[in-house]
A and B are shown apart, each in its own frame.
Chain A
Amino acid sequence: MNLTKIWLIAQQEFWSNLKRPSFLFAVFGTPILVALSIGLGVLTGSSEDDLGAYSPVGVLDRTEQQIFAQHVSPESFPDLFVWVTDEASAQQAVMDGELAGYIDFSPEYIESGKATLYGLRGAPEDMFDAADALVLANLSASVDSTLPAERIEKSADLTVTVLDGNRTFDSDSVFFMTILPLLFGFFLVLASTTTSSFLMNTLSEEKANRIMEILITSVRPMELLTGKVLGMGLLGLLQVVVFLVAGLVGLSLAQQQNFLTGLSIPPDMIVLALVYYVLSYFLLAAGLAGIGAVSSSEQESRQLSIIIVLPVMLPYMAIVTFLLDPNGTIPTIFSLIPFTSPMAVMMRVGLTTVPAWQIAVSIIGLIITDLLVLWASARLFRWGILSYGKTPGLRGLWQVIRGRGDTIGQAPAPTVKEVA
């Protein structure tokens, strides 16, 4: 392998695609559109989450005055709350799924008004109203006149903390709490599909306009494939970095305006996002490069690309399942299957604590799948880049992958006519 030529091809792919209007739109336009849609979401106050699925919630009363001693449930949320006696059993109940979460009213609550809701995932927006109603109902039943009046005026300044200790949300952030993981998953897959689709399109174009013949008399097919995958991968990485920086800058700006002050993006999510980007990119890039090489036109390659892109996007279609029960069967299965795992895991880590073994299995599975797809794609690529005419069906492709497809034009694919 000639590394100089590979690097030259990577540079050319990077710069020539960076100037494409469609890429610039994907990098800068999409975040703007998403930001606008979120803004609209905030304004309309919409929340797709349901308090019914977030029940019961424990109440841990550690206040000196024992303000919840009467165990009064608010009228508007009669069955939501249960009373717990100590922190350890409350945490265990959450871990065991007996409680959706528990609100810790610490001894400082009377002075500060700050209470913390602990759970395995963020709470729905109605939870904040429910906490207010809980405090008011119990204060009304209390006869203690020493309580400050602010506690009636502003009952509970609730902070939601996910039990792994990394994510906290206040009432302003709750909309973002649900949308953030979805955005993470969405942008991650958007970055890898954008760049790998560009890769596929340039390959189809080079094949269709026959410049491929000139290229492969200058470089080996594998050098060409490697350079292209590398260049486009770097471009996608730039896209991910732009998304992350834009997100962090946007968050910082919002927090300067005392908005979303309780929201933070933990470093482990960023590291995972980069790991899953790289793994999902190689999966998509290798798969789509193979498709680009065997297709006879850009249009046909776009149609065939659904075979690869659809499974990757599948978790997004099950979004409601993820929101309602991020540790449920479907989200867990999606997290373990290599094609669906990048988006599934990234959506879940924002919503809940994903068991480490599931992350490990998904990453190992992805690495193995990446290698298999790269191997198969390299065979298709070497064979396909100079085959014109009808694209072979799945059976033909399988023959190329299995057969003597390591040399251009030598693979046994009877449905393909090579230009003589």
Chain B
Amino acid sequence: MTSPVISVQNVTKNYGNFRAVDDLSFEVHPGEIFAMLGPNGAGKSTTMRMILDIIKPDTGKIAVLGGQMTDAIKDKIGYLPEERGLYRGVKLMEMMTYLGRLKGMSRTDANARAAELLKYLELEAHAKKKVSELSKGMQQKIQFAVTVMHRPQLIIVDEPFSGLDPLNTRILMDLLMSLRKDGTTIVMSTHQMFQVEELCERLLMMNKGKVALYGTVDEVRSRYATHAVEVEGTGNWAGVAGVAQADVSENGRTAVLQLKEGVTSKDLLSSLSQTPGIEVQKFALAVPRLNDIFIRVVEGGATA
């Protein structure tokens, strides 16, 4: 097995009396999109900063791209912090070139890459504008472009899509997917669970500085799977044989049917077809959404 891109082992970080990260361990594998989830204050940003060597852990070990952080390794990482910031009074090309060169690029390479990204993000017409002259959405895209300017091997992005409209979200998601296709490893923190379900292979859910959930997205969802079926259609679901409880959605079009013990989904499908007044348009095993799992974990205060 190839060595992990990031290895965090038993890391703890305190701010005064507040323990921001508590005995945290996980790994990120090469070429995957890895999600870091958790409520505000769970310790995600602190963990990211420790990975980036911006702050030091009190105890534990962190290895990135095969070892402890060096200047050469720093140049192979792209970071998009949660709180965005750009030089507002500087022209786009100038700023992108400068930040690219700080990552070790030559002036020529940085200029060419900045032009390429501006074209990809449909911002080439604004190359000579100052950041302050751009809309918020455009600034977000530029921030993202700065993160991937130097073709990093590892990208760490904190809430990359926050504040973006669906169209721009799609553009940046496509960019992330294409980077992963090229072998880039991506660590992403987000509150948008559907994005995790769509983009990520594995996830780490943190709560109160500790690991709450860790594994592949499918594993986590199946771990929280209930004995239920999700249906779409019309009828009196509660009256169907084998149904213990029917949770009908607000609009009445879908329902989650909890099955009685010993009843299989196949038995239920058979019952539904035999029950008069029932019309089924969609029938699927109920797999919990990450969103529901997130709420259950946070409300239950669960940690692994």
- The residues of A with any CB-CB pair to B shorter than 8 Å are 2, 5, 8-9, 12, 16, 206, 209-220, 386, 407-410, 412, 414, 417-420
Task: Decide: A420 and B20 in contact? CB cutoff 8 A.
Answer: yes
What 0/1 readout, one digit per residue, does chain B (73-100) give for beta carbons within 8 Å of chain A? 0110101010111111110000000110
Can you list 6 residue pairs at the A/B interface with Cβ under 8 Å? Answer: A209-B86, A211-B86, A216-B54, A217-B79, A218-B75, A218-B99
Q: In the complex, what residues of B have CB within 8 A of residue A16's CB?
A: 87, 89-90
Cβ of B293 within 8 Å of any chain A Cβ, yes or no, is no
Instruction: Report the stretch among B40-48, B161-169, B172-180, B283-291 that lies at the interface.
Output: B40-48
The minimal Cβ–Cβ distance linking A124 to chain B, given in whole angstroms, is: 49
Q: Is B198 an interface residue (CB 8 A)?
A: no
On chain B, the residues within 8 Å of A215 by CB distance are 102
Q: Is the CB of B77 within 8 A of A217?
A: yes
B191, CB-defined interface residue at 8 Å: no
Q: A418 to B85, Cβ gap below 8 A?
A: no
Residues 42-70 of chain B, each 1 if its beta carbon lies under 8 Å from chain A, else 0: 01011001001011100000000000000
Contact among A5, A407, A414, A418 for B102, CB-based, below 8 A: A5
Write out the residue numbers on chain B whose beta carbons fall within 8 Å of the beta carbon of A407: 55-56
Q: Which of B18, B46, B102 has the most CB of A within 10 A?
A: B102
Inter-chain CA distance A397–B43, complex, in Å, is: 26
Quick check: is B71 within 8 A (CB to CB) of the other chain? yes
Assuming the contacts A2-B71, A213-B85, asked whether A218 and B55 have C-beta atoms less than 8 A apart, the reply is no
Contact in complex: A210, B84 (CB < 8 Å): yes
Contacts A209-B86, A410-B55, A420-B43 known; A214 to B79 CB distance under 8 Å? yes
- Is B101 engaged at the interface, CB distance under 8 Å to the other chain? yes
CB distance from B189 to the nearest CB of A (A): 13
Q: Say if the beta carbon of B146 comes within 8 Å of chain A.
A: yes
Q: How far is the CA of A215 from the CA of B83 in the complex (A)?
A: 14
Interfacial chain A residues near B99, Cβ < 8 Å: 214, 218
Chain B residues near A217 (CB, 8 Å)? 52, 54, 74, 77, 79
Looking across the interface, which residue of chain B has its beta carbon closest to that of A418?
B15
Q: Considering only CB atoms, which chain A residue lies closest to B13 in the complex?
A: A409
Question: Cβ of B103 and Cβ of A218 under 8 Å apart?
Answer: yes
Distance (Å) between the CB of B15 and the closest chain A CB? 5
**A419 and B85 alpha carbons, distance in the complex (Å):** 16
Chain B interfacial residues counted at CB < 8 A: 33
Contact of B276 with A by CB under 8 A: no
Q: Which partner residue on chain A sits nearest B50 by CB separation?
A: A409
Nearest chain B CB to A10 CB, angstrom units: 12
* The 9 A-B residue pairs with the shortest CB-CB distance in the complex, in nearest-first order: A210-B85, A209-B85, A211-B85, A409-B55, A218-B102, A213-B81, A210-B83, A217-B79, A420-B20
B301, CB-defined interface residue at 8 Å: no
In the assembly, what is the distance between CA of A210 and CA of B146, in Å? 14
Q: Which residues of A contact B46 (CB under 8 A)?
A: 420
Known contacts A218-B74, A420-B46: A213-B90 contact under CB 8 Å: no
> Cβ of A408 and Cβ of B54 under 8 Å apart?
yes
In the complex, what's the smallest C-beta–C-beta distance from A115 to chain B, in angstroms? 59
B interface, CB within 8 angstroms of A: 15-16, 18, 20, 41, 43, 45-46, 49, 52, 54-56, 71, 74-75, 77, 79, 81, 83-90, 98-99, 101-103, 146
**What is the distance, in angstroms, from B80's C-beta to the closest C-beta of chain A?**
8
Q: Tell me the complex Cα distance, A408–B43, Å.
A: 17
| Residues of A contacting B56 in the complex (Cβ-Cβ under 8 angstroms) | 407-410
How many angstroms between the C-alpha atoms of A220 and B102 in the bound complex?
A: 11
Additional pairs, 20, CB under 8 Å, beyond known A214-B81, A386-B49, A410-B56: A12-B98, A16-B90, A206-B85, A210-B81, A210-B83, A210-B85, A211-B85, A212-B85, A213-B54, A213-B81, A213-B83, A213-B85, A214-B85, A214-B146, A218-B102, A386-B55, A408-B54, A414-B16, A417-B15, A420-B43
Q: Which of A2, A12, A16 has the most CB of B within 10 A?
A: A12
Across the interface, which residues of A come within 8 angstroms of B41, CB to CB? 420
Chain A residues within an 8 Å CB radius of B54: 213, 216-217, 386, 408-409
Q: How far is the CA of A212 from the CA of B98 in the complex (A)?
A: 14
Across the interface, which residues of A come within 8 angstroms of B88, CB to CB? 209
Q: Which B residues are in CB contact (< 8 Å) with A9?
A: 102
**Assembled-state Cα–Cα distance A156/B292 (Å):** 101
- How far is it, in angstroms, between the C-alpha of A215 and the C-alpha of B77 when the chains are bound? 12
Q: Determine the chain A residues whose CB is within 8 A of the CB of B98 once the complex forms.
A: 8, 12
B142 to chain A, nearest CB (A): 12
Which residue on B lies nearest to A16, using beta carbons? Answer: B90
Contact partner of A8 among B18, B49, B102, CB < 8 A?
B102
CB-based contact A420/B85 at 8 Å: no
Given the complex, which residues of A lie within 8 Å of B79, measured CB to CB? Answer: 213-214, 217
List residues of chain A with CB within 8 A of the CB of B15.
409, 417-418, 420
B81 to chain A: closest CB distance in Å? 4
Q: Which residue of B lies closest to A385 (CB)?
A: B54
| Residue from B56, B81, B146 with most neighbouring chain A CB atoms (10 Å) | B81
Q: Which residue of B lies closest to A419 (CB)?
A: B45
Return the chain A residue nearest B146 by Cβ.
A214
The distance in angstroms between the C-alpha atoms of A419 and B49, with both chains bound, is: 11
The minimal Cβ–Cβ distance linking A26 to chain B, given in whole angstroms, is 17
- B281 → chain A closest CB, angstroms: 46
> B residues within 8 A CB of A386?
49, 54-55
Cα distance, A16 to B91, chains bound together (Å) = 10
CB of A357 to closest CB in B, whole Å: 46
